[in-house]
Chain A
Amino acid sequence: MTKAKRNRLIYNIVTYALVIAAFILLQSMIANKSISRSLKGQLVPICSWIVMAVSLNLVIGISGELSLGHAGFMSIGAYTGAVVSGWLLNSFAVESTLLRLVLAILAGGIMAGVMGALIGIPVLRLRGDYLAIVTLAFGEIIRSLVNVLYIGVQDGHLCFSFLNRNMPEGVTMLVDGAKGAVKIKPISTFAVGFVLILITLTVVLNLVNSRAGRAIKATRDNRIAAESMGVPVTKYKMMAFVTAAALAGMAGALYGLNSSTVVPTQFTFNQSINVLVFVVLGGLGNVLGSVISATLLTVLPEVLRAFSDYRMLVYAVVLILVMIFTNNPLIRSFADRLIAPLKQLLRGKKQGGDEA
């Protein structure tokens, strides 16, 4: 086993182990009721944000393209999930919440993936910052479109209307224009959110460490060199982008079905930037970092509620401090020195194991 391979293996194991350990810890806390309402209510949103951050990291960190419309894919997933879930319940009397949730998440992922492909095909052929511009516009367009989108269900049929709320009598509204997706039966569970995180990690980590992943990273590091080596740049960039879009759609469906209502104003440009902050703070290309930063930055504002209105200020200060500390050479070398004995211990043992 080469050193790089072993490091990667340790990294992957640590990532999975951390997520699984957190899940077991939280589940046992739920079981013996030692968890606060506040934290329990945040579990599913945290799962969604982790998936969002990891999938955006695939685009930004691994394939090196800037996407500013990730919340747009999330909203597609959330709306699709709400419609599919409502339709299944209303028309096919699917009572099983788990089945409805899984189908809604799959539908959300497919829908967002298709939209991602539609955007990616023209844009990823271009060089430069075009993806950032187009995804930025895409996020806003999606928000404006769902603002005037009306979907109802009646006798097994879905009724669609655009711009005007022209609906037959007695129809049950699922999406009601500016009112957003309404009367959603909340069915998301922490367990499904956990499984979705595991699926996301498996997909992303395997993709990154595969032949395709190496090609994606090659196009990021030097597009001309990669092209001259015969790597089809557009194909690999598409692979990363569409995967990320589909995962964001799945996260959106999980997120949307956790609430009784979803509104277009939840998925603004600010929300996309929020996810970008998770990725940047966790480290570009660092999947474990994204998981940790998405969790901490979602929980942090709630923990800071004790500071009432000053919590925004404290939050901003914390963000700045984290950025300074993670980039300060003095502090990094100090941290390295602290970890060094531990690392050596681990390395010594591992090497010993390898030799034996």
Chain B
Amino acid sequence: MKKLFAMMLVVCMLLAGVSALADEPITIRVAHIGPTTGAAALYGLATLHGAEIAAAEINAGDGPYHIELINQDDEHNVEKVINAYNAALDAGAQMILGTTTSKPCEAAGAQGYIDRVFFLTPSASSTAVIEDKDNVFQICFTDPNQGLASAQYIAEHNLGTKVAVIYNNADVYSTGIRDTFVAEAAQRGLEIVSETTFTDETTDFTVQVADAQNNGAEIVFLPMYYTPASLILKTAADKDYQPIFFGVDGMDGILGLEGFDTSLAEGVMLLTPFVATSTDEHVVSFVNQYQAAYGEIPIQFAADAYDGIYILAAAAEKAGITAEMEPEEVCDLMIAAMQEITVDGITGSMTWDASGAVTKSPMAATIVNGEYVFED
């Protein structure tokens, strides 16, 4: 009898132990890699902050997983990113949220492919980031997709037929979008009447805007980030030239640019998966938290990284990742899990295929009275 009692006690204790284990959340270690210093720091800090907010939310909740965020700076540099990646793994990271920018992501992802480390990049959008590698997944659209979608949108909504393109020929993002845009525009019967380029150092866009104006462009396509775009808008306003300006997701953030007269951006159209002024409950909560913590309106990069942490948590749950697993083991489980999950994030509803590219629908917004208004 005594023996039986003792055995029952042991069983009870074991059960208690097991249930206690089940209640205890599993902490997975995620490394955020992005440029938190240097010329592209704006984007790296945005993804870091977005990820921090999501991690804090998850850790405060009662989900099965907790996130320990490790941050490493890659300075937007192809050599440094490998150092950052190695330092992150030395620090015990099991998977990588990153990297923020395309070229470093291409280099680090290739190294990760050899070492078997899982990457989920919030914002590296060139196709080379996911090509020939099964370990890298994207949250944002690829550059060609944006060019394609822009040309389709312009043609389908009959915005005009004479298009001018101004792009940064020293930038992977800009040239990537421009290449497919021009190819698709030809298919869709759009006429490219002016095509001019600039580089990172350009501050005067008089020549480019004048060329578009003299060739009678009705639409000016701006595949670039918002800083040069703001200068182009200013130059066009000075010349009293008022075509439809059509931007891509890099244009997001232009309304928050310091010293920029937002009235210049009136009527600008852009494709973006995230709009900070949306009334969606989840977006409002994110924007409020972000503003409270960092004192600024989040840009799309922050939203992508915020979603990224939730995606990693969802995939980790699906894959059954534990805190003890090595990155190599995590990688294969995560690759399989990523293709099975659907995540409803603040940048849309997302699914993935084996290529690593995301499927979600782009949304076109127009700036009216200093705010985004959605087209359908």
Binding site for B on A (CB under 8 A): 36-38, 40-42, 45, 147-148, 165, 177-180, 182-183, 186, 259-266, 302, 305, 308-309, 312
Contacts and interface: CB of A to CB of B under 8 A. Distances in A.
Given A45-B79, A309-B37, A178 B172 contact: yes
Contacts of B77: 266
A308 B170 CA distance: 29
Q: Which 4 A-B pairs have the closest CB atoms?
A: A260-B110, A37-B86, A41-B86, A38-B86
Interface in B90-143: 90, 103, 106-107, 110-111, 114, 126, 128, 131-132
Contacts of A309: 36-37, 73
Given A38-B90, A42-B83, A147 B36 contact: no
Interface in B34-87: 36-37, 71-73, 77-79, 82-83, 85-87
Looking at A36, A42, A183, A265, the one whose CB has the most chain B CB atoms below 10 A away is: A265
Looking at B114, B170, B171, the one whose CB has the most chain A CB atoms below 10 A away is: B170
15 contacts: A36-B86, A45-B79, A147-B169, A178-B169, A178-B172, A179-B176, A186-B110, A261-B106, A261-B110, A261-B128, A263-B172, A265-B103, A305-B87, A308-B36, A312-B37
B179 interface: yes
Contacts of B220: none
B83 A302 contact: yes
A260 B90 contact: no
A102 B110 CA distance: 22
Contacts of A180: 103
A302 B90 CA distance: 12
A305 B73 CA distance: 8
Contact of B132 (A179, A183, A186): A183
A165 B106 CA distance: 21
B175 interface: yes
Interface residues of B, number: 33
A266 B169 CA distance: 16
Given A38-B87, A180-B103, A312-B37, A262 B78 contact: yes
Contact of B103 (A45, A263, A302): A263
Contacts of B364: none
B338 interface: no
Contacts of A308: 36, 71, 73
A150 to B, nearest CB: 11
A259 B79 contact: yes
A179 B128 contact: yes
Nearest to A148: B169
A182 B199 CA distance: 20
A263 B78 contact: yes
A42 B171 CA distance: 27
B89 interface: yes
B78 A259 contact: yes
Interface string B155-175: 000000000000001111001
Looking at B83, B86, B126, B172, the one whose CB has the most chain A CB atoms below 10 A away is: B83
A264 B78 CA distance: 11
Contacts of B79: 45, 259, 266
B72 A179 contact: no
Contact of B170 (A38, A42, A264, A312): A264
Contacts of B110: 186, 260-261
Nearest to A37: B86
B107 A260 contact: yes
B175 A179 contact: yes
A178 B36 contact: no
Contact of B111 (A178, A179, A260, A264): A260
Looking at B37, B107, B126, B179, the one whose CB has the most chain A CB atoms below 10 A away is: B107
Contact of A147 (B82, B85, B170): B170
A210 B83 CA distance: 40
A301 to B, nearest CB: 8
A179 B126 contact: yes
Given A165-B179, A261-B103, A308-B71, A179 B78 contact: no
Looking at B36, B85, B110, B171, the one whose CB has the most chain A CB atoms below 10 A away is: B110
A341 B169 CA distance: 62
A182 B78 CA distance: 12
Looking at B78, B79, B110, the one whose CB has the most chain A CB atoms below 10 A away is: B79
B71 A41 contact: no
Nearest to A143: B170
Given A179-B126, A261-B78, A37 B172 contact: no
Contact of B89 (A37, A45, A147): A37
Nearest to A177: B175
Nearest to B132: A183
Contacts of A165: 179
A273 B268 CA distance: 42
A40 B86 CA distance: 9
A305 B37 CA distance: 12
A183 B132 CA distance: 9
A265 B132 CA distance: 24
A305 B70 CA distance: 12
A266 B106 CA distance: 14
B106 A302 contact: no
A305 B89 CA distance: 14
Contacts of B169: 147-148, 177-178
Contact of B78 (A147, A148, A266, A302): A266
Contacts of B85: 41
Contacts of B78: 259, 261-263, 266
B42 to A, nearest CB: 14
Contact of B82 (A148, A182, A259, A265): A259
A34 B111 CA distance: 21
